[in-house]
């Protein structure tokens, strides 16, 4: 074996096991393995690596520039970004993104999907991100979404810029129907994106209904167009926060059609926890999409961070575990069965989005698990269980990309009166 992880604990498996890696893939799961390189999990958890399935790297680390988001709203964030985007340069984008990417890697991210604003005739940020994608390929895989932040039809030439971005090498078609001036433009936004996917063979990831307005109903259009064009498994709806405000009868209908169409849904708990409900007095809506109901219906739901230190979200350090921690509280997912859904929403479920797999129950989620034959994209934790990871939010001990250690954190130990404290039962 090229590498062996000794004494690993796997979720759902009794006892400890060694993980043998050969040629960048998991070759064996059994005790007593030997390898050219060996590291010890010391009886702690080894999990699949994280897929950060929704982030905006073009805006990362711009919080407060040119001014802070005083209202905390999505709309003020978009206005601030429109000002900041006028000063984008290749050097600016490269410096910020290359500074932040190691944060994600250190936290166990081996795949990252970034939305990039293409409402810029020069496509400065897009070109810079495509350069970076090629440069960091051995460290982290990057997908680039052509995202028309100001609309495809409300922003003059937005649709043409999306096409141009795809010609330059963008991987995914984006959209933002709820930001268009009229509902008709919003429907046109969805239809254009999915028709382009049908024509090009590329996947789609649309910012959909990211509002508290219960009349924002573009998710139904996404489901209908996905069915019409037979794009099941290739289309993701990000945010879908208006679903929180739908009446229950309509929400039930939409969830059924989302399942029927094979749409993926991507929730973004850190950002939407602070962006939604800004027009409410008390009670203030949480503004998260109906995660538990979607999961119960068999819809593939993944979780993304969305922003790190930008006009929409001033916090963050590139850790998907923070996303799950927020979702546990904000999404009322503290029950044992609900908690068991959180790690898959950062690992196997976003992997299905990335690889355009339709999910039926557990089918479609096998490709990113600690299993023989799968890529050795792994995280070695300093704690024994997923619950312990969610509770203590520790740094990752080792991160492996295709069987190679790409990040390592030396153990952090606290002492009280000379005795080591581990925060474990």
Q: Which residues are catalytic?
A: 210
Q: How many CB atoms lie within 10 A of CB 71?
A: 11
Q: How many CB atoms lie within 10 A of CB 411?
A: 11
The three-class DSSP label of residue 271 is: helix
Between vectors from CA 230 to CA 227 and to CA 235, what angle results, nearest 5°?
80
What is the bridge-based pairing of β-strands 37-40 and 109-117? unpaired
Cα–Cα distance measured from residue 192 to residue 189, given in angstroms and rounded to the nearest whole number: 5
DSSP string, 293-342: HHHHTT-EEEE--B-SSSSS-S---S-HHHHHHHHHHHTT--SHHHHTTT
The three-class DSSP label of residue 103 is: helix
Contact 206, 237 (CB under 8 A): yes
Strand order in the sheet with 25-30: 25-30, 16-22, 3-9, 37-40
Contact 187, 223 (CB under 8 A): no
- Of 203, 213, 200, 201, the residue nearest 175 (C-alpha): 203
416, containing H or E segment: strand 414-416
- Of 37, 79, 89, 34, the residue nearest 58 (C-alpha): 89
Contact 204, 210 (CB under 8 A): no
- Kindly give, in sequence order, each residue whose CB lies less than 8 Å from that of residue 88, ignoring residues fewer than 6 positions away: 58, 120, 124, 125
Cα–Cα distance measured from residue 23 to residue 32, given in angstroms and rounded to the nearest whole number: 19
Q: How many CB atoms lie within 10 A of CB 154?
A: 17
Q: Tokens at residue 69, please?
A: 């988001």
Q: Within 13 Å and on the Cβ side, how many CA atoms surround 18?
A: 19
């Amino acid at each position: 074996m090229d590498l062996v992880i000794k004494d690993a604990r796997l979720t759902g498996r009794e006892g400890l096991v060694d993980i043998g890696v050969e040629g960048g893939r998991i070759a064996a799961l059994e005790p007593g393995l030997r390898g050219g390189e060996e590291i010890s999990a010391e009886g702690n958890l080894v999990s699949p690596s994280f897929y950060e399935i929704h982030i905006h790297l073009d805006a990362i680390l711009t919080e407060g520039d040119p001014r802070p988001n005083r209202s905390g709203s999505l709309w003020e964030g978009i206005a601030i970004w429109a000002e900041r985007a006028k000063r984008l340069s290749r050097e600016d984008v490269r410096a910020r993104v290359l500074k932040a990417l190691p944060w994600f890697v250190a936290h166990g991210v081996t795949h990252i999907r970034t939305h990039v604003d293409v409402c810029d005739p020069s496509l400065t940020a897009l070109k810079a991100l495509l350069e970076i994608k090629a440069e960091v390929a051995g460290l982290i895989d990057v997908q680039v979404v052509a995202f028309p932040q100001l609309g495809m039809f409300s922003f003059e030439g937005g649709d043409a810029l999306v096409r141009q971005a795809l010609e330059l090498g963008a991987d995914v078609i984006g959209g933002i129907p709820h930001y268009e001036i009229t509902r008709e433009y919003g429907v046109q936004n969805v239809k254009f994106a999915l028709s382009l996917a049908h024509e090009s063979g590329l996947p789609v990831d649309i910012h959909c209904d990211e509002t508290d307005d219960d009349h924002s109903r573009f998710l139904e259009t996404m489901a209908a167009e996905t069915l019409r064009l037979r794009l099941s498994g290739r289309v993701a709806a990000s945010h879908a926060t208006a679903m929180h405000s739908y009446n229950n009868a309509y929400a039930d209908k939409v969830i059924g059609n989302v399942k029927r169409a094979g749409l993926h849904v991507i929730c973004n708990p850190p950002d939407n926890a602070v962006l939604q409900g800004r027009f409410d007095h008390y009670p203030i809506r949480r503004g998260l999409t109906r995660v538990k109901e979607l999961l119960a219906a068999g819809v593939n739901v993944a979780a993304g961070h969305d922003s790190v230190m930008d006009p929409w979200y001033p916090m963050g350090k590139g850790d998907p575990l923070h996303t799950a921690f927020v979702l546990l509280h904000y999404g009322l997912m503290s029950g044992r069965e609900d908690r068991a859904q959180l790690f898959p929403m950062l690992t196997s479920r976003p992997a299905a989005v990335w690889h355009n797999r339709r999910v039926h129950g557990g089918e479609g989620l096998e490709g990113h698990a600690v299993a023989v034959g799968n890529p050795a994209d792994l995280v070695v934790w300093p704690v024994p269980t997923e619950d312990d990871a969610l509770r203590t939010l520790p740094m990752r001990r080792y991160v492996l990309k295709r069987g190679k250690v790409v990040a390592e954190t030396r153990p952090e130990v606290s002492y009280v009166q000379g005795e080591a404290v581990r925060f474990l039962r």
